Structure 1
Amino acid sequence: MATKELNVEEKLRALYDLQLIDSRIDEIRNVRGELPLEVEDLEDEVTGLSTRLEKLKTDLDSIEEQIKVKKVAIEEHKEAIKKYTAQQKEVRNNREFNSLTKEVEFQELEIQLAEKHIREMKASIEHKKEVIAESKERLEAKSSHLKHKKSELDAIMSETEKEENFLCQKSEEFQGQIEERLLSAYKRIRGSVRNGLAVVSIERGASAGSFFTIPPQTQMEIASRKKIITDEHSGRILVDTALAEEEKEKMEQLFAKI
């Protein structure tokens, strides 16, 4: 089904209606502000801290396992010392005795080295336990903050989601009434101005939000609604005050139904 060809006045009304709807959507999204991004960042932080905590716990288990291995090795070295010491009592010459003495000394050195490693690993465990405690504290704080922010966002979403969905649907409907060239211009202007206002009315002889006076002849042309006129300073599409008031009233009735 072909779109009905609108005359200039109808195009201006459709554009201004679309602007009012899109501005209302902007207001809703501004209420949410940075909250969705904050929640996303906090979720990433919580995930990162949880992963780090799990790795620290795994490292801790690994070190404790290594200590057990070292303790078993120490017992084995002690058993070897007992064996070599007993054998020294049965040797027949100095060469065998010296050889066994060297074995005993080697086992004693291995015990000393293992004990040194155990001390180092125990110190590492204490350090990791401190880091784990700090990480747990940070994770709890971040998780609590995330819960609060998510609750805040959910509350805003539950209040505004229905209205936003309705308005987005209406925005699409009004966009469908406007020819592609004009709609592209509207979107381009909207994207280039800070407040998203692409269509504005004349207020006190100037375009809304501007201090630049519009010449009386141009104001008459705008009021005649015979062609699309843009503000030479801001590039915004201009509509007369009467049309703007009529469309605002119509849109307020539409918004009241939500």
Structure 2
Amino acid sequence: MANIKELSVEDKLRALYDLQLIDSRIDEIRNVRGELPLEVEDLEDEVAGLSTRLEKLKNDLESINEQIKEKKNAIDERHAAIKKYTEQQKNVRNNREFNSLSKEIEYQELEIQLAEKHIKEMKASIEHKKEIITQSEEKLEAKRTHLQHKKSELDAIMAETEKEENFLLEKSAEYQGMIEERLLAAYKRIRSSVRNGLAVVSIERGASAGSFFTIPPQTQMEIAARKKIITDEHSGRILVDSTLADEEREKMEQLFANI
């Protein structure tokens, strides 16, 4: 490979146009995938989020069931206390002791009522959470099925295009290595600023490809002479003559056909 500094302007233009053809081919491959990779990523995030929520709901259920168990044990203990205080009332020596035990019994009965009220509320909460869990499980299953479908779709496209894309990425890097840093930076800047990614275009019918602005005959002659890098004053794109473009397209089509 010739040293970058030894390349003629024509060689630089050919290398730039070849790089453009390679990068445009990579763009086409990625466009085929479209939004699929992002869709898969979003679905994976949704599935992870739903799984976490479902796990939390199930943990909440276990916690509530444990609280109900504790309340029931407390009720049993309070019933035992009532039974004990009732027995003690039979052996009191005066009204003061009897009334004191009656208050204890009344307190225990109130605590039992409060515990039963809490149990009732917690059971209602359990039923509500069970409904949400069922809905969440159905939604999660639907999302998992959708994710699997999208992943299969993406895997199929990747299997078809991965080899070609990797080859083209290597070629892109190879051609970038042939172009001086300043020119390559300009190419990348233009490419990132235009919607279709075309930084290097040929002259077609007296205008730069994709543009309606006519290029003056004198400028067209300078472009055809290939003695300096010329850009379109309207779009900023680097311009090459149609003959050079046809030659490089034919060369690149052969390269692509052998992938």
State the secondary structure of the residue aligned to 1:127: helix
> For 1:87 and 1:237, how far apart are their aligned partners in 2?
104
Shift of 1:95: 1.2
SS in 2 for 1:201: strand
Structure 1: stretches of 5+ with no match in the other structure: none
Relative to the length of structure 1, the TM-score reads 0.97
Task: Give the aligned partner of residue 203 of structure 2.
Answer: 202
Q: Which moved more, 1:83-92 or 1:7-16?
A: 83-92
| Structure-2 separation of matches of 1:88 and 1:103 | 11
| Matched AA of 1:103 | E
Distance 1:233 1:217 in 2: 16
- Distance of 1:100 and 1:177 partners within structure 2: 100
Q: Give the number of equivalent residue pairs.
A: 258
Provide runs of 4+ in structure 1 moved above 6 Å.
none
Inter-partner Cα distance in structure 2 for 1:54 and 1:184: 50
Alignment partner of 2:177: what SS? helix
- Aligned-residue sequence identity (percent) comes to 84
Taking the TM superposition and a 5 Å limit, the aligned residue runs for 1:11-22 are: 11-22=12-23
Q: Distance in 2 between matches of 1:3 and 1:223?
A: 24
Q: How many Å separate the matches in 2 of 1:2 and 1:98?
A: 110
Q: Structure 2 matches for 1:105-116, cutoff 5 A?
A: 105-116=106-117
Offset from partner CA, 1:77-114 (integer Å, 9 cap, x none): 11111111112122222111111111111111111011
CA distance in 2, matches of 1:184, 1:75: 81
CA RMSD of aligned residues (A): 1.1
Q: Hey, what's the Cα distance between the residues in 1 that align with 2:10 and 2:92?
A: 119
Q: Which amino acid aligns with 1:3?
A: N
Unaligned runs of 5+ in 2: none
* Aligned counterparts of 1:66 and 1:114: Cα–Cα separation in 2: 10
Distance 1:125 1:238 in 2: 71
Matches within 5 A, 1:1-258: 3-4=3-4, 5-258=6-259
Cα drift, residue 2 of structure 1: 7.3
